[in-house]
Chains A and B, each alone.
Chain A
C-alpha cells in the first residue's frame, strides 16, 4: 500500500512573469482517492495539466509510478488516464470509434479492453451513436471510458461532475469509488464542490493562490483539537481550566469549548470530576469541510 503512484515534488509554474503555482508538493498512494480542493483560479487546473503533460512545470519534478514525466514521458503517461475539464471527443464519430482511435495510441489496448471500459461506464447501448447526439452525462461516461481503456494506475479527473445532474453525479461517484476499491486505481479529483470531495475522497489537499495550504486525511482535517464539554456548571469549569491548566475557553449556551491537547484531556476530565462538576458529554467538535475551506481560503484574496 505504500507505493506512491503519483509524486509531485516542489513544482512551480510561471506564466508571463506571474507565479501561478508556488512550490507545490503532494503524493498519492496506491488505491487512494485524493481530493484537490480550491476556489476558482487557485491553480488546480494548472497543476493537473502539468501532471498529465499538457504543460510543463517551470521547476520541480513529477513522478508517476516512479517514472519522471520529464525524462520518461511515454512510460509515465502510459500509467495515467484523465479527463481535463470536459471530455472532448470527436463529435462526428461514434463513441466506439473515438475509443478505438484513442486506444490505438496506447500500447496493447485490445477490443476486449474497450468493451470492458464501455461496460464499466454503462454505455453499451449507445456506444455506436455519434458523439454529437450524446448528452453531457453520456459524454462524461465516454470520457471516463477513454481514460480507462489502457488500464492506467492513476486517474486524474478535473472537475468531473461539472454539468452533470444529481443522478449523474451520484452514478459517477459510485463508478469512481468502485474503481479505487476494486481495481486499486489511485484517483486525483479536483473540485470546488466541497460536499463532493467529502463524499469520495480519502484525503484532501487544499490549494489557494498557487500553494497548498493544507494536506491531510479527511478525518484528520475534520477533527479539530477543540473539545466541547456539556456540564452542569460551565462557569466553574471555565475557572478551573484557566487556573489549573492555563487554558482559555469560551461558553456556547451550556457548552464549554476549549482547544485542548488530546493527551491532556483525561487529566482535565479527572480534575473536573474531582471538583464535583457533572460531565454529561465530552465531544470532539467536528467541523464541516466547508467551514474549514472557508476559513482557510477567505484570508487569501485573488490577486
Chain B
C-alpha cells in the first residue's frame, strides 16, 4: 500500500510536468522539427566528409547521422515524449532518492517487523540455524526488490503510454560516453535501440536496489525496529546527496554508497560527480558495500541476543 500510493503520487507529479513540457513545445509554435533535423544532418554530413577530421570523431558523427536518419525516416520527432523515454527518465530521476527510499521502507518492514511484532522469537526457537533464517529473509528481500523494479518499469511504461500514445522502443539511442582525463571521450559511443537501453537502465536500477536492500538488511538487523532503521537510511540517503554537493573535492565522499547510486547518468554522457569516478568504479563500490553489509549482517545476527 505504501508503495503504491508513493509511486502513484510520484508518477502523477512527473506526468504533469512532462505533459506541461509537451504542450509548451507543440502548442505554441507549429514546431517544424523536420527542417531543423535535416539541417543538422546536412551539417554533420559535410563534417563527416571533411578529410581533416580524425577517425574517432568521424565515427561518432556517423553514429549521430544514423540516429537522425532513423528519426526522419520514421517520421518521429526526436523530442516527442514516449513511453520508453518516460520510463527511463523516471528511473534516471528516481535512482538516487525516490526508488532507494521505497526499497528502504519495504525492506526495513520486511526485517524489522519480525522484531517489532516479536515473531522473530518463534522463528529463532525452531530447529533452524540462524543464518538460514536470515538467508531466507535476504532471498525474500531480493525477490521483493526484483518485483518492485519490475512494477516500476511496467507502471511507468504503461501509464505514460496512456498519456503519450507512443511506445518508442525501437528508436536508436547513443550511449557510452565517458570522461577520460577531464575530456569527453565518445570513442566508445554505440547505438542501441531504446528497448535495449531501457533494459540496461533497469538492470542498473535493479543492481542499485539490491545494494540498497542489503544495506537496509544490515541496519535493520542492528537496530531491530523499523522506524529507526528507516530513519537512519533516509538520513544517509539525503545526507549523502548533500555530501556530494558540498564536499565533492573530498576524496572519501566517493566511497560512500549514496554518492555512487546514480549509475544511469554515466550512460548518457559526461558525468563525473567527483574526480576519478566512473561506471565501473561506482559498481565496484556499491558491490563492496552490499557484500560487506551482508557479511556483517550475518555476523551480527548470529551473535545477537534477542531481547524482544
Contacts and interface: CB of A to CB of B under 8 A. Distances in A.
B122 interface: yes
B305 A80 contact: no
Interface of A: 15, 49, 52-56, 73-78, 80, 82, 84-91, 102, 105-107, 146, 150
A105 B307 contact: no
Main SS of chain B's interface residues?
loop
Contacts of A105: 123, 126-128
B125 A84 contact: yes
A49 B305 CA distance: 9
Contacts of B125: 52-54, 77, 80, 82, 84
A15 B305 contact: yes
Contact of B307 (A52, A53, A55, A86): A55
A146 B307 CA distance: 20
Contacts of B128: 74, 77, 105-106
Contacts of B305: 15, 49, 54-56
A89 B126 contact: no
A80 B126 CA distance: 8
Contacts of B307: 49, 55
A52 B303 CA distance: 14
Contacts of A106: 126-128
Determine which residue in A74, A80, A88 has the highest number of CB atoms from chain B within 10 A of its CB, and name it: A88
Interface in B100-130: 117-119, 121-129
A84 B121 contact: yes
By Cβ-Cβ distance, the 7 closest A-B pairs, closest first, are A55-B305, A78-B127, A77-B127, A88-B118, A105-B126, A54-B306, A52-B125
Contacts of A82: 125
5 contacts: A49-B305, A54-B125, A88-B117, A88-B122, A150-B127
A56 B303 contact: yes
B122 A102 contact: yes
A49 B306 contact: yes
B187 to A, nearest CB: 56
Contacts of A86: 118
Contacts of B124: 53-54
A88 B127 contact: no
Contacts of A89: 119, 122
Contacts of A55: 305-307
Contacts of A53: 124-125
A54 B122 contact: no
A284 to B, nearest CB: 42
Nearest to A98: B122
Contacts of A74: 127-129
Nearest to B124: A54
Contacts of A91: 117
Contacts of A80: 125, 127
Nearest to B304: A55
A237 B191 CA distance: 115
Nearest to A15: B305
B119 A88 contact: yes
B306 A77 contact: no
Interface in B251-308: 303, 305-307
A84 B303 CA distance: 19
A41 B123 CA distance: 25
